[in-house]
Structure 1
Amino acid sequence: MSNIRLTKSFSFETGHALYGYDGKCKNIHGHSYKLYVTVIGEPISDSGNVKYGMVIDFGDLKKIVKEEIVDVFDHATVFNKNTPHFELAMELKTRGHNVLLVDYQPTSEMMVIDFAQKIQRLLPQHIQLHSLKLQETETSFAEWHAADN
């Protein structure tokens, strides 16, 4: 049987600020992110299996990514908890804002690494995460590939 790659795309809106950055992105701002998740595996060959012919049900992949990434990051503001933004985050939280504190600078590069780790641990054993593409703007994106890691 052949290995097949499947890709599913997701969209979410997230705000962030890059503490210590020397450009405009040091200010709180947001993006309409697009996340492309590509997995690889062999289609199920057991004709008695309800998922016969599928590598993974797109709905199953959607459930993993939606619960781990989209539902968490959508309409949230992300700050590195190891910076003075922590104080701002606490103030925003007391005012009812959805704030995420992470252990990294919330760049597209670091977010895509975080997303890869979260998705990988929940995929069925016979499915491998092949790549992620996190598009921050129309012309800018970060990619993670299993082959590079």
Structure 2
Amino acid sequence: MVYLTRVEHFNAAHKLYNPNWTKERNDEIFGLCANENWHGHNFELYITIKGSPDPDTGFLMDVKKLSSIIIERVTDKLDHKNLNLDVDFLQGKICSTEVLAIAIWQQLTPHLPNNVHLHRVKLYETPRIFVEYFGE
């Protein structure tokens, strides 16, 4: 089994809040991240795929093709967007980094070749905070 990781980057704004809670409860749980005027992050996205290299090319997957899928299906939809308002696949969800990682997984899996499997979505919200999702 070979693992291949592609790194992409996007900038996005969001706020954390539960619409079923009061402003006070949201502020208590989410603190500054519940700011009514939003806040932003410079996200680093690591997409790891796994499989066996093609005997004819030696590639698990053409990395340019992998990058194109990530850009088309994920980063173009997220970059310089408000995650709460502008992203169709996040509508009605709390836009935490955890939820975002799961949503990215769901956006990518249907578009990978049959011989390639998504292994991990690793998403850095800040240099010190990141989420890893393995599709479980």
Give the TM-score category using the shorter length.
Answer: 0.7 to 0.9
| CA distance, structure 1, for counterparts of residue 93 and residue 66 of structure 2 | 26
**When the two structures are superposed, what TM-score results if normalisation uses the length of structure 1?**
0.78
1:41 correspondence with 2:51 = yes
Structure 2 residue corresponding to 1:65, chosen from 65, 70, 80: 70
What corresponds to 2:121 in structure 1? Answer: 132
Q: Which segments of 5 or more consecutive residues in structure 1 lack a partner in the other structure?
A: 80-88, 90-98
Query: What is the rounded CA distance, in whole Å, between the counterparts of 1:126 and 1:78 in structure 2?
Result: 32
The code of the aligned residue for 1:132 comes to V
State the percentage of identical aligned residues: 31
Residue 3 (structure 2) aligns with? 5
Structure 2 SS opposite 1:121:
helix
Shift of 1:64: 0.6
CA-CA distance at 1:133 after TM superposition: 0.5
Distance 1:78 1:125 in 2: 30
Deviation at 1:12, TM superposition (A): 0.5
Distance 2:43 2:105 in 1: 15
Q: How far 1:78 sits from its partner (Å)?
A: 1.4
Q: 1:100, CA displacement in angstroms?
A: 2.6
Deviation at 1:111, TM superposition (A): 0.3
Give unpaired runs (5+ residues) of structure 2: 19-25
Matching residue of 1:84: none
User: How far did residue 24 of structure 1 move?
Assistant: 0.5
Quick one: higher RCO (CA 8 Å, sep 6+), 1 or 2?
2
CA RMSD of aligned residues (A): 1.1
The one-letter amino acid of 1:100's match is: V
Is 1:24 matched with 2:11? Answer: no
Q: Secondary structure at the match of 1:66?
A: helix
Identify the match of residue 87 of structure 2 among 100, 104, 115. Answer: 100
Q: 3-state SS of the aligned residue for 1:7? A: strand
How many residues matched? 122
- Separation (CA, whole Å) in 1 of partners of 2:47 and 2:92: 23
Q: CA deviation at 1:136?
A: 0.1
Letter in 2 for 1:19: Y
Which segments of structure 1 move beyond 6 Å, counting only runs of 4 or more? none
